[in-house]
Amino acid sequence: MPVGTLGTVKGLDVSRVEDTGAQVVLANAYHLALRPGAKTVAALGGLHAFMGWSGPILTDSGGFQVFSLAHRAQVSEQGVTFCSPIDGASLQLTPERSIAIQEDLGADLVMAFDHVVALPNSPEAVVEATWRSVDWAERCRKAARREDQMLLAIVQGGLDEQLRRHCARELVKMDFLGYAVGGLSVGEEPTEMYRMLEVTVPELPTSSPRYLMGVGRPQDLLEGIARGIDMFDCVMPTRNGRNALVFTDNGPLRLRNAAYEQDTRPLEADCPCLACRHSRGYLRHLFKAKEMLGPILASLHNLTYYQRLMAEARTAIAQDSFTDFRDEKLRRWAG
């Protein structure tokens, strides 16, 4: 899922996002509640009309911001009080308030409000945040009113195998429609993340979508799929694209590199995206000249790359050849 935190996948209008093959886009309840406000989005017809995106939308609950904006957040059992980076006003998010905001925004998939902490962290802090997240998931379930929205719970537990399993079991008892694995890709090694998936995912029902939040690099997506994950979101394709880093089957290219100055080849010969109608030399020139088209085209290519990778993975799964597919990709990326 391409990330459109503020109701826009940065630099790309929805038609271009659709061209990449994306089916679902992400938006963020915390950021949209601050600006323009959930009621304003509702008055403008809800997120689908607001963004002009007719496909499914998933909103994150604001739980990740407890981690990413920790210096602006005060956590209690009741909820979290944030100091707005826009005007310093305070915004209180509780499980009930997060659900109300997400109901006003009107996404199709909505997330439970959880407490994400940085890793590594003290065992006490991880345990406390995990059980708080379980408690908050139950409050979200009770608060949810809209029957046209699918509420997903989020498994926490840091890097503690027992805690991850225990948290997953408690959430599954509450019978959510989908489950996410959260609190990963927040500073730990990829191998530790894979280990957490190996203990967590088997606890989650195969009949429900299983979503790994905020991940990741192309290799992380394939390793996640190998461990049973169905859905991902990450800012990497767009954020890296804006910084002149593009993904290819032969590994990432840094477009500012002088090696591409007179390179007539496209980023990838078989890529159907608009960026790949141009030469690497031209794309490099756009970045060197600080033209806005550079970040736009690089973001478009990266999103297309990720969507094509996922489409290939789905085909490989259907043909029962996913392991070979993954190993071949990993080998080529490693160069």
- The residues annotated as belonging to the active site are 60, 233
192 contacts 215 by C-beta, under 8 angstroms: no
**Does 139 contact Zn ion by CB under 5 A?**
no
Applying the rule CB under 5 A, the residues between 45 and 84 that interact with Zn ion are: none
Q: Compute the least distance from the CB of residue 24 to Zn ion, in Å.
A: 21
Name the one range near Zn ion by CB under 5 A: 138-146, 149-157, 168-176, 301-309. 301-309
For Zn ion, the binding residue among 22, 273, 310, 316 (CB under 5 A) is 273
Task: Indicate the residue among 29 and 275 with the shorter CB distance to Zn ion.
Answer: 275
Residue from 16, 115, 301, 308 in contact with Zn ion (CB under 5 A): 301
Among 155, 276, 297, 310, binds Zn ion (CB under 5 A): 276
**Between residues 67 and 305, which has the closer beta carbon with respect to Zn ion?**
305
> Interface with Zn ion includes 210 (CB under 5 A)?
no
Judged by CB under 5 A, does residue 236 bind Zn ion?
Answer: no
- Give the burial string for 32-60 (b: 16+ CB within 10 Å, else e): bbbeeebeebbeeebbbebbebeeebbbb
- At its nearest, how many Å lie between Zn ion and the CB of residue 293? 14
CB of 272 to Zn ion, least distance (A): 7
Kindly determine how many residues on this chain lie close enough to bind Zn ion according to the rule CB under 5 A. 5
Closer to Zn ion by Cβ: residue 301 or 329? 301
Candidate segments 121-129, 236-244, 270-278, 324-332, binder of Zn ion by CB under 5 A: 270-278
Q: Toward Zn ion, which CB reaches closer, 269 or 318?
A: 269
CB of 253 to Zn ion, least distance (A): 11
**Residue listed under structure tokens 């699918």:** 150
Which is nearer to Zn ion, 38 or 271 (by Cβ)? 271
Q: Please, what is the minimum distance in Å from the beta carbon of residue 268 to Zn ion?
A: 5
- Asked if 117 interacts with Zn ion (CB under 5 A), we say no
Window contacting Zn ion (CB under 5 A); options: 25-33, 56-64, 78-86, 273-281:
273-281
Would you count residue 275 as binding Zn ion (CB under 5 A)?
yes
Name the segment binding Zn ion (CB under 5 A); options: 63-71, 146-154, 170-178, 271-279.
271-279
Residue 271 interacts with Zn ion (CB under 5 A): yes or no: yes
Cβ closer to Zn ion: 97 or 301? Answer: 301
Of 50 and 306, the one with the shorter C-beta distance to Zn ion is 306
Give the burial class of 289: count Cβ atoms within 10 A of its Cβ; 0-12 exposed, 13-18 middle, 19 or more buried: exposed
3-state SS track over the chain? CEECCCCCCCCCCHHHHHHCCCCCEEEEHHHHHHCCCHHHHHHCCHHHHHHCCCCCEEEECCHHHHHHCHHHEEECCCCEEEECCCCCCEEEECHHHHHHHHHHHCCCEEECCCCCCCCCCCHHHHHHHHHHHHHHHHHHHHHCCCCCCEEEEEECCCCCHHHHHHHHHHHHHCCCCEEEECCCCCCCCHHHHHHHHHHHHHHCCCCCCEEECCCCCHHHHHHHHHCCCCEECECHHHHHHHCCEECCCCCCEECCCHHHCCCCCCCCCCCCCHHHHCCHHHHHHHHHCCCCHHHHHHHHHHHHHHHHHHHHHHHHHHCCCHHHHHHHHHHHHCC
Which pair of structure tokens corresponds to residue 67? 């981690």
> Is residue 151 a contact partner of residue 177, using CB atoms and an 8 Å limit?
yes
With contacts defined by CB under 5 A, name the span among 11-19, 228-236, 264-272, 324-332 that binds Zn ion: 264-272
Which spans of this chain sit near Zn ion (rule: CB under 5 A)? 271, 273, 275-276, 301
